[in-house]
Amino acid sequence: MLESLINPKRDAKGPWKMFFIGLLYASLSLLLVRWFFSNDPVLSKFSGMIVVTFCVMFSIPFMYFIIRREEKEDEQIEGFFHVWKAHSDAIYAFMWLFLGFVVAFSFWHLVLQDPNLFNAQIETYCMINSPGNIEDCVTRYSFIQSATPTGAATNGMRFLSIIENNIYVMIFTLIFSLIFGAGAIFVLAWNASVIAAAIGVFTQYRIQEIPLGIARYMIHGFPEIAAYFITALAGGIFGVGIIRNGIRNRKFLRVVENVAILLFIAVIILVIAAAIEVYFTPILFR
């Protein structure tokens, strides 16, 4: 019923509308998992992954529609600036959707304060920011204790760790989008939930500080997630291009060139985002 009420062909035309769709999908995902699985002794342990899975299920129609539309445009264009101009609307739509995910996940995470809803996300956050003492980090950032900074690695170590993690996620996103174009939304919804968990840690689970927490992580989060969306778009376009044109068609060669340009842009953005996260953001938010 939900996919009938919200029409991808109509709503994807206004990129900003995707923000409200992201709010709705992420909120429904959290609340449904809370209502149906919170008392289950087994499934409650995997609530963090189930939340993301629900969010992906809701979002697939939009992802599929946008990728199909962008691939048709990609057959007619070439060159760096033309490629970016042709796909910028789709990237903006994805970014609005992602921001809706982050806002809704952050709000409900702090309101419900259920330690199971983002258990996997907290562990992932600790693996990135405190790789030498993950268990202590997870305990420290629970709802029972106040979140206080841990003795993290040096800036250089964090920069390399973040680059490594981001490239890994980029490759994972590319593989997902190649196998199933809309499937890359899983990686993106997962990252939105991890950022929401990080916002909870930064704000020490105080609802009134959610805007500050979002600002803290979106400074580097926006370019980082934009790179993932560009990667997902490139993988989806490549996969659809093979199906539509075959590998010997001249249109497919043009698609390959444009996909390479998109991936190059994504890598550059990821490096910039990592530098912002390690060297610039801490200056503004101590």
- Scan for tokens 């020490």, then name that residue: 204
The confidence band for 149, taking pLDDT boundaries of 50, 70 and 90, is very low
Instruction: Supply the range of the domain harboring residue 191.
Output: 2-284
Arithmetic mean of pLDDT, 96-122: 85
pLDDT of residue 70: 65
Arithmetic mean of pLDDT, 162-177: 85
pLDDT digits (tens, 9 = 90+) for 256-285: 887 888 899 899 999 999 888 888 887 877
The span from the CA of 49 to the CA of 63, in Å, is 20
The span from the CA of 199 to the CA of 206, in Å, is 10
Structural domain total, the chain: 1
Side-chain half-sphere exposure of 197, counting CA atoms within 13 A: 29
Instruction: Pick the most confident of 49-63, 79-93, 259-273.
Output: 259-273
pLDDT digits (tens, 9 = 90+) for 113-147: 777 788 788 877 777 666 556 566 666 565 544 44
The span from the CA of 60 to the CA of 50, in Å, is 15
Helices marked H in the chain — which ranges?
2-5, 8-11, 17-37, 47-74, 80-112, 119-129, 134-140, 155-179, 185-202, 210-245, 250-275, 281-284
**Do 128 and 52 contact (CB within 8 A), yes or no?**
no
**Cα dihedral 96/221/138/162 (nearest 10):** 140
DSSP string of 181-226? GGGGHHHHHHHHHHHHHHHHHHTTT-GGGHHHHHHHHHHHHHHHHH
The span from the CA of 236 to the CA of 218, in Å, is 25
- The model scores a pTM over 0.85: no
pLDDT of residue 181: 61
